[in-house]
Amino acid sequence: MCGRLTQYRGIHDFVATLSMPGVWRIEGSGEPLEHYNVAPTARVAILRLDDIGPRADLVKWGWRPHWARDRAAPINARVEKVAHGAFFRAIWPHRALTPVDGWYEWVDEGGARKQPYYIHRRDGQPALCASIGQFAGREDDGVVILTADAEGGLVDVHDRRPVVLSAELAREWIASATSREQAEQLAMNFAEDSAAFAWERVGFAVGNVRNQGAGLILPL
């Protein structure tokens, strides 16, 4: 999964996609986010549970442990290793969802420049991406998105894909009653397959992170 995504709906729309009962505490307004070209270190909307109940926050995309200051903060974590490696050990128990309208990948098709593609759910709903992070209310808080090997037609676009869950499994992913072992099996084995997604070529303007607007996701 490449390091660009979109979150253009409002946070209330993402909450509604999850279909989770309870009184949500939501950071920010209910207005559309209108983020069409989100890059690493930007703040992204996430959905999670804490001791009080469901909440939606804006958190930096990317995280690293305090002892890894010699490297850039990763934005993604490989689902095959994340539960057992030392790097993400501290945040593996802190599960969340990063709802995205879509994400971009760049493909070498033999031209002078790599061709950008925009990937999104075929049904028009947001993709609920399994994530983990640090949500302590500190400056070094952050979130990373779990990724898995691509399969089906998505292999032609990139060799990795975000772990996207159905609403039912997304609720299970963030539930406090779900054990770490259950969460690992859920993320490893029950992500949405490539049939749930569509991908189209889009214009080269998305390559400049300063460019924004709905025109970026229009298929060529």
Residue 153 is encoded by which pair of tokens?
């037609």
Asked whether 42 and 54 are in contact (CB, 8 A), the reply is no
Is 129 an annotated catalytic residue?
no
Is 105 an annotated catalytic residue?
yes
Asked whether 192 and 165 are in contact (CB, 8 A), the reply is yes
The SS3 assignment for 128 reads strand
Catalytic residue among 2, 80, 192, 200: 2
Rounded to whole angstroms, the Cα distance separating 126 from 130 reads 13
Catalytic residue among 31, 105, 151, 172: 105
Ramachandran region of residue 54, left (φ > 0), alpha (ψ -120 to 50) or beta?
beta
Residue 33 is encoded by which pair of tokens?
């986010």
DSSP state of 61: B
DSSP state of 63: -
Rounded to whole angstroms, the Cα distance separating 211 from 154 reads 25
Q: Please state the length of the chain.
A: 220
Is the Cα torsion angle 194, 92, 131, 144 positive or negative in sign?
negative
Enzyme catalytic residues? 2, 105
